[in-house]
Every structure is written in structure tokens, then in C-alpha cells.
Structure 1
Amino acid sequence: MMDETRYNQLIAAAFKRIMAAADVLDPDDLEAESTGDMVTLTAPSREKCIVNTQRAVRQIWVAGRGQGIHFSYDAASGSWLDDKGKGLELFRFVADVVREISGQELAYPG
């Protein structure tokens, strides 16, 4: 299991990337809030995409589209991938949920 310092660095980078993509959008189209271990993206319909840490197992958990998905960091690819092997990638999954709940496209910074 990765050490806590590395996990914290990866979480900070992931949350920063999600917030940067959301902050480009009009807050009337998607409201983004970051509070400690959680990022909440809220559509005008009040539907949400919640991105949360799972510190005990060094994962990120995303709730959206009526499901909760755990993502583990894959050092070989440098990506957060779902822990069930479904081929889901964290940033793509969050973007898909945002599109579904708000009709908005998240464009992640380089």
C-alpha cells in the first residue's frame, strides 16, 4: 500500500484538477465546492457528483449516476482506475457524471 504522504500528494493533485475544470464553468451551470476530503459538484437540478477520499484503503470514491465507484491509483499508468476492473478512469468518470447531471463538459487543464 502506498504511504500516506504520497497518497496526500495524489489526492491534492486530483482534487485541484477537478476543481480547475469545474471553476471554468458558470456556477449557475455547475457549482463546485471543495471541503477537506471531499469535492462536491452540484447541477442546477441539485443532483450531485461527490468525490471523496477513502484514506484507510488509499482510494478515491465517487458517487454519481446512482452508484459509488472506488478508484485506486495505478502507478504504472499514472491513472486512478476503478477497483473492479471495469476500465473506468477517475477523471473521465467524473466528466461523464457531470455531463449527465448538468449537460456541461468538464475540460481538464493540461
Structure 2
Amino acid sequence: MMEEARYNQLVAMVFKRMLAAADAIDPDLLEAESTGDMLTLTARSREKCIVNTQRAVKQIWVAGRGQGIHFNYDEASGTWQDDKARGLELFRFVADVVHDISDVDFIYPS
């Protein structure tokens, strides 16, 4: 299993990248709030996409589209992939949920 320090570093990078994408969007359309282990993205409609750490199992959990998806970090590809092997990637999934709830593009900085 991944070491705690590595997991913390990866999660910090995920949250930083997602917050940067949210900061580029008009806060009247999408509001971002980060509190410790949770990032909440709220659309004008009050619908939410919630990104949360799952420290005990070294995962990231995302609630959106009426479901909760757990993502594991894949060292080989350097990506967060869903734990049910459905081909979902964390950043793409969050961008799709944000688009669904807010009708704005969630674009990550390079």
C-alpha cells in the first residue's frame, strides 16, 4: 500500500489543480470550497460535486451524478483510476460532473 506521505502529496496536488480550475470560473456559476480533506464544488443550481479523501484506504472519493466513485492512484500511468475498472479517470470524471451541474467547462491548468 502507498505510504502516507506519498498519498498526502498526491492529494495536495489533486486539490490544488482542481481549485485552480475552479478559480478560473465565475463564482456566480461555480463556487469552490476546500476544507481539510474535502473539496466542494457548488453550481448556481446548488447541485454539488464533492471530492473527499479516503485516507484509510489511500483513495479519493467523488460524489456526483447521483453516485459515489472511489479512485486509486495508478503509479504506472500516473493517474487516479476508478476502483471498479470502469475506465473512469478522476480529473475527467470531475470535469464531466461539473459540466453536468453548471454547464461550464472545467479546464485544468497545464
> TM-score range with shorter-chain normalisation?
over 0.9
* Alignment correspondent of 1:54: 54
Q: Deviations over 1:57-93 (max 9, x none)?
A: 0000000000000000000000000000000000000
Counterpart secondary structure, 1:8: helix
Q: Which runs of 5+ in 1 are unaligned?
A: none
The CA distance in 1 between the partners of 2:15 and 2:71, in whole Å, is: 13
* Alignment correspondent of 2:93: 93
Give the TM-score normalised by structure 2: 0.99
Q: Which runs of 4+ in 1 moved over 6 A?
A: none
- CA offset at residue 51 of structure 1? 0.0
Considering only aligned residues, what root-mean-square deviation do their CA atoms show, in Å?
0.3
* Alignment correspondent of 2:44: 44
* Alignment correspondent of 1:15: 15
The CA distance in 2 between the partners of 1:92 and 1:105, in whole Å, is: 11
Count of aligned positions: 110
State the AA in 2 paired with 1:21: A
The CA distance in 2 between the partners of 1:33 and 1:105, in whole Å, is: 18
Q: Which runs of 5+ in 2 are unaligned?
A: none
Give the TM-score normalised by structure 1: 0.99
State the AA in 1 paired with 2:28: D
